[in-house]
Amino acid sequence: MPVFIAGAEPAVPHLTCFVSIPDPSLIEVMASSALDSLVLDMQHGMFDEASVLAGIGAAALHGKPVLVRLPVQAGGLASRMADFGAAGFICPMVNSAADAQALVDLVKYPPLGRRSWGPRRALALSGLTAPEYLSRANARIVLLAMIETKEALDELDSILATPGVDGVFVGPSDLAVSLSAGAQLTHPDVDAALPRTVAAAHRHGKRAGIFAASTSAAREALRQGFDIVSVTQDGMLLSGAIANALEAVGHTERT
């Protein structure tokens, strides 16, 4: 069952959700929803290589592609996760075209990059022959550079102009931390930067994504034209659902 999200045009807007709890059963539940993909979080979530391997399999049972959010400056993991069958990468703290090119080198085959051949499991999951995989992988495996700092905003065009980068993905919290020099987790300049980011991505014929920390933020991101929107994250969804359930049965906090 093919589980790539690029190449065959993905649904736009593409709705995804970050997963931090590395349990295949949880991934199966989430993948059986109407989400278009899942993001397994190796940066702030608890995923390691083995749980990404299991997670890709669990999502594939429901025909859902998995994106991996890499740890900072861990591009080396990307080609390994691509070989495991990851459909794409959300890469934190990309601040320059040089940072972007370093990731392209690891995720894309020549001539765009320098990915090493050996897509053992990815090939089986793709349903392609080896030559077909080689000729399509660069277009099908999505590389998204996270825009999370003032430097990245200043370099938006050069990051987007890097061949092999398929789009950008805004991390609103880190962007606020950067723009406020560590003083705040929200900042008005983040909101101002969002339409500019969407316009820049589309000008380059590429995708704009964003992490939305609430359903209202996700709705607003879709209204602004973001192509890839994460509808919060597993932990937030679970705590929200528990709070709603307790409220529905009239439970008040014990003191």
Q: Would you name the residues annotated as active-site residues?
A: 44
The closest of 218, 199, 197, 214 to 146, measured between CA atoms, is 197
Binding partner of residue 211 among Mg ion, ligand 3PY, none, CB cut-off 5 to 8 Å per kind: ligand 3PY
Among 174, 197, 200, 221, binds Mg ion (CB under 5 A): 174
Can you read off the two tokens belonging to residue 151?
């430097």
Q: Which residue is nearest to ligand 3PY (CB)?
A: 171
Q: Which of 88, 119, 171, 209 binds Mg ion (CB under 5 A)?
A: 171
Query: What does the block give as tokens for 107?
Result: 């995720």
Closest distance to Mg ion from the beta carbon of 175 (Å)? 8
Taking each helix axis as running N to C, give the angle between helix 75-84 and helix 97-107, from 0 to 180 degrees, rounded to the nearest 10: 30
Number of residues that make up the chain? 255
Task: From the list ligand 3PY, Mg ion, none, pick the one residue 47 interacts with, judged by a Cβ distance below 5 to 8 Å according to partner type.
Answer: none
Site for ligand 3PY in 158-187 (CB under 6 A): 171-174
CB of 156 to ligand 3PY, least distance (A): 16
Least distance to Mg ion from the beta carbon of 148, Å? 5
CB of 14 to ligand 3PY, least distance (A): 16
Q: Which is nearer to ligand 3PY, 75 or 171 (CB)?
A: 171
Window 127 to 156, contacts with ligand 3PY (CB under 6 A): 148
Q: Which residues contact 228 (CB under 8 A, 6 or more apart)?
A: 13, 14, 16, 144, 167, 169, 207, 208, 209, 210
Shortest Cβ 94–ligand 3PY spacing (Å): 12
**Using CA atoms, how far apart are residues 52 and 61, in angstroms rounded to an integer?**
14
Contact with ligand 3PY (CB under 6 A) among 211, 212, 229, 231: 211
Cβ distance to ligand 3PY smaller for residue 55 or 119: 55
Binds 166: which of Mg ion, ligand 3PY, none (CB < 5-8 Å by kind): none
Q: What's the rounded Cα separation, in Å, for the pair 226 and 243?
A: 29
**Site membership for Mg ion, residue 172 (CB under 5 A):** no
Q: Which residues contact ligand 3PY by CB under 6 A? A: 148, 171-174, 211
Q: Which residues contact Mg ion by CB under 5 A? A: 148, 171, 174
